[in-house]
Chains A and B, each alone.
Chain A
Amino acid sequence: FLGEQCCTMKILTLLSLLATHLSASSVNIEENAGQFFSSGHTNNWAVLVCTSRFWFNYRHVANTLSVYRSVKRLGIPDSHIVLMLADDMACNHRNPKPATVFSHKNMELNVYGDDVEVDYRGYEVTVENFLRVLTGRLPPSTPRSKRLLSDDRSNILIYLTGHGGNGFLKFQDSEEISNVELADAFEQMWQKRRYNELLFIIDTCQGASMYERFYSPNLMALASSQVGEDSLSHQPDLAIGVHLMDRYTFYLLEFLEDIHPSSKANMNDLFKVCPKSQCVSTPGHRTDLFLRDPGSALITDFFGSVRKVEITMETINLTEPIQQVDGSVSDGSSVVPPGVHR
């Protein structure tokens, strides 16, 4: 008699569990659908700029190439990366290991590799070219690889490194870009609907001064040091004879090496990269212009080009407006399923 009751109990428990699971998963699908359209971007671009030349600024080129490597690894293709390097370190006569740029002591990590595509090289890296790339005002003869062909659904990562000061960044030892110019360029981009969200990272001395003047929406900025602080280099390599990387980008690279395309790490983790104990300078960030909560912005929203794929057997009703995770409602008419990009 007890055995039969046991069996029945077991079956009932199993059935109830199954029912709960099914109802729960159906609720999850609805939630996931909400998360699906949370970021609102459909394609990713990256503009990576190294502004200094000369052999002793090896580390700036290594910085830029490290970010390039991470960005490519996480899925952004070369056609969507504008890479600007002001000098050629790999083929510099003083390089004891020609055709390499190392970002790690003892030559553990060669970031130059064999598939680096530099779009603006040498003297082409100027303030004018940089601003034209950002705003899209390029002469008609400019090849596609040198253009930033972003639209209002693009998330753009902009990374700048070099020598900077309070309110300016030095290009090529002969000119400067000021924080006002940069802020105005971003405003032009906003008004021309050239970005959906923009992440701006700068690794220079007094880098925080460069994002002080931003006033356009949907901008998030990170800098390696505050005003009045110098950003320091990380490690010298005695065989090559130069400093290989700057501290902030070194720890950024370390952090990014752990990110894979399906990682759910978000911007709050990025803000914790390189605390003062490791960086000596105090990294700063600015999120007041960013409309989403930084905790809901994934690293891969900017650093990767991720196709969001979720396999489900359920039917989801898309005719009603989808509640976005952070509460704002997206208009059904402008919802474009991921995977379609212009």
Chain B
Amino acid sequence: MGLLSDPNRRRALISLLTRLNAPICVVCYMAGVAWFMGLAFEPFTLRTYMSENAMGSTMVEERFPAGERALGTGREFSAHKKKAGGMPVDWLVKTMQSRGLEVFTQRFSRRLPFPDEDKERYMVKGTNVYGILRAPRAPRTEALVLSAPCSPGDDNNQAVGVLLGLAQYFRNQVFWAKDIIFLVNEHDLIGMQAWLEGYHHTNTTGMDWSPLQGRGGSIQAALSLELSSDVVTSLDLVLEGLNGQLPNLDLANLFYAFCQKIGVLCTTQGKLQRNDWDSVSGYSHAVQTMMLMVMKQASGRPWGDHGLFLRYHIEAATIKGINSFRQYKTDATTIGRLLEGMYRKLNNLLERLHQSYFFYLMPSLSHFVSIGYYMPAFGLLALILLLRVSFQPRLLTTYLLTDGVPGVLSVLTPLVISHLTGVALYTLPIHFQEIAVEHFPVSETEAVVLTAIAVYTAGLALPHNTHRLLTGRGTENGWKVLKLVAVLYLAVLLGCTALINFSLGFILALTLVPVAAFVTPDVPKALSAFIMVILSPACTLLFSVFLFQELQEMPVSFLDGWMLYLSVISQGILDHALYGSLVYPLVALLVYPCWLLFWNILFWK
């Protein structure tokens, strides 16, 4: 008879699970963490390869000649930018027109929910300028985008220069099968959001923009260029986009293939890959690169102007030029040739990039781990939750039958109150900022962040007493049912999160699964309360900030780290309001109430 269909064997299996539940949970947890750490070990990864037949190899002749002229154009752009005090719209329009593009502009304006202290803006008004290079012989059905941001100060002038230089060179070629749109966006992500919304006729974030006069067909791929120096020592590829979405791996493969062909140093996460995977330092280097990617993906924010394209199923990446203290420098002509090669290959595409992976992690630019390999790490953690649930048969029905309505109420109350606290955490910070500014000597941004922290801390105190108030006594088995419900809720929540954004799901699982598995009213209160607060989402975020700075080799002191933490919270709230990032609502409305349920269980008696 089969293992599960034989009643004797089934009883034996269940008794085994019941007896050894805690040790199995611990083993699963360690196995999950070990699996995750093992992902960066090179023999467990695969080399990247081009999956799309149409893009083939790097078999193309790059002949872009005008790097110096592009840098000159960049200097002109810089001068005009200083003169105009922002985006030099007229000069850009004239320059693009002289290169034979069809030029259009788009105005946009947006009032942020509260001032952004990192970028020092509140009422944002700007103009995007874009020129369309029409394909000489093709119908206007598909397009490629090359964009460079118009940044304040001295940043990214060379990027605009190279963009205009490439526009002129591309205009003289006859082999373009798709329209190429050269876009210079103002106010980086806000401008890009306005342009994309205008292009696709959607309005998801409540921004005000003028409709686009010219269009180029459905966009197949986009690259965003950030270049702030005349020469670079390496090119960095940024893949992480909004809500942790990644472009198709073929785009990264294309970039890497051309880097190798042309001989430019290429990095991802700013880290150059090493060859000594079998040494400890080599392995830790790969782990650091992968952890950086995981943390960037978990934050749910777009890490380059490309991040907003991904939502529209347009594969996009950002290429950053980095000028560090290396001997070998790459000039603008070579960068232009690399981009020319990439665009010629993208030109050969017959359909959207779909042959390669959409879900992957990269411990280095030449190796990747696909979803089939990294998901078991999360699966092992989720298994702990299922093991915890599994040996409570018929608990819910017994409880309802014996204790009746007051029993149900004592379980329902914490649920409702936790979620109401979550709703308060989501809505109060922004709505109460005026009142907070009146009564306390803080700026609006600080008011928002501090209100959020205050609501979060207040939530710790609230459920502690409420259920006693309502029912008069803590029912003995009520906490078990609440725990069952909470563990299932957490399992579903984490599962769904991991499917969409694996990194966020995994990091939340790392901290919340131990809490969910082991909290009961019987554990020592003070110690468990301390551990629970350490493992709560807010503290996880605090530790992540410090870890992120460590990984980037820019460690911060505690005070700086705390200020960084506050700015991270404000950026998270802003991202949600401006671009529709889902991390802040997820944490406030779902993860925090779930954690509060477990807090409730801890203080049941």
Contact = CB atoms under 8 A, between A and B. Distances in A.
B379 interface: no
Contacts of B347: 94
A238 B177 CA distance: 17
A321 interface: no
Contact of B53 (A56, A239, A241, A243): A56
Contacts of B59: 236, 238, 241-243
B20 interface: no
Interface string B142-177: 000000000000000000000000000000011111
A155 B347 CA distance: 44
A95 interface: yes
Given A94-B348, A98-B137, A56 B56 contact: yes
Interface string B42-61: 00000000000110110111
A96 interface: yes
Given A54-B350, A93-B138, A239 B61 contact: yes
B306 interface: no
B53 A95 contact: no
A239 B53 CA distance: 19
A243 B174 CA distance: 19
Contacts of A241: 59-61, 175, 344, 348
Contacts of B238: none
**Interface SS of chain A:** loop
Interface in B190-217: none
Contacts of A54: 54, 350
Interface residues of B, number: 20
Interface string A60-104: 000000000000000000000000000000011111101000000
A55 interface: yes
Q: How large is the interface on A (under 10, 10 to 19, 20 to 34, 35 or more residues)?
A: 10 to 19
Contacts of B137: 91, 93, 98
Interface string B282-313: 00000000000000000000000000000000
A96 B175 CA distance: 5
B135 interface: yes
A243 B53 CA distance: 13
Interface in A237-293: 238-239, 241-243
Contact of A94 (B53, B56, B177): B177
Contact of A55 (B57, B136, B173, B348): B348
A122 to B, nearest CB: 15
Interface in B27-71: 53-54, 56-57, 59-61
A49 B136 CA distance: 30
Interface string B174-188: 111100000000000
B348 A93 contact: no
Interface in B340-357: 344, 347-348, 350
Contacts of A98: 137, 174
Contacts of A242: 56, 59
A96 B57 CA distance: 18
B251 to A, nearest CB: 18
A136 B57 CA distance: 42
A93 B175 contact: yes
Given A93-B135, A238-B59, A241-B348, A56 B177 contact: no
Given A242-B56, A243-B59, 8 more contacts: A56-B53, A93-B135, A93-B138, A93-B176, A93-B177, A94-B175, A94-B177, A238-B60
6 contacts: A56-B54, A56-B56, A92-B177, A94-B177, A95-B175, A98-B137
Interface of B: 53-54, 56-57, 59-61, 135-138, 173-177, 344, 347-348, 350
Of all A-B residue pairs in the complex, the 7 with the closest CB atoms, nearest first, are A238-B61, A93-B177, A93-B138, A96-B175, A236-B59, A241-B60, A94-B177
